[in-house]
Amino acid sequence: MSIFGSISEAFSQFEGGSGPSILTTALQGTGLGGNGGIVNALQENGLAGHVESWLSGGENMPITADQLRAVLSNEQVQQIATHFGLPVDTALNLLAQPLPAAVDQASLNGSLSDASA
């Protein structure tokens, strides 16, 4: 599959409403354990305000690929890229764009359920 095919397939999965489960699956191979793991890593690395916006009822603050790269190890970044079958920069951009909405959708009353953590 071409890189554009991989990107198109990944975005169609996010747009189809399966964003939280797609992200959880992609993150499980990183040792983060899913949405809860990435949320904890972001909170511990100076992005608690972003996470709070995703878990609250307000507008979700965006996150950039560079912010994700600063939080994740090189190995974790490579595992995410391998999962999506994309170059690292493309995979980080693909993860960063829907992450706020996916965490928001996976949360219930401001916290993540055990199923997504």
pLDDT exceeds 60 at position 10: no
pLDDT of residue 34: 67
pLDDT of residue 83: 84
* Percent of the residues in the chain that have a pLDDT greater than 70, as a whole number: 73
Average pLDDT (54-75) is 93
What digits encode the pLDDT tens for the residues 17-58?
Answer: 545 566 767 777 788 776 678 889 999 999 999 999 999 888
pLDDT exceeds 90 at position 102: no
> End-to-end alpha-carbon separation of the chain, Å?
31
Q: Where are the domains of the chain?
A: 3-107
Whether 23 contacts 98, CB under 8 Å: yes
Torsion angles phi and psi, residue 107, rounded to 5 = -90, 150
* Residue type, position 38, single letter: I
Residue 58: which residues within 8 A CB-CB, separation 6 or more?
none
Beta strands, E only, the chain: 107-108, 111-112
* 3 CB-contact burial (10 Å; exposed 0-12 / middle 13-18 / buried 19+): exposed
* Residue type, position 115, single letter: A
* CATH number belonging to domain 3-107: 1.10.10.690
Tokens for 36, please give them: 């809860």
Average pLDDT (95-116) is 75
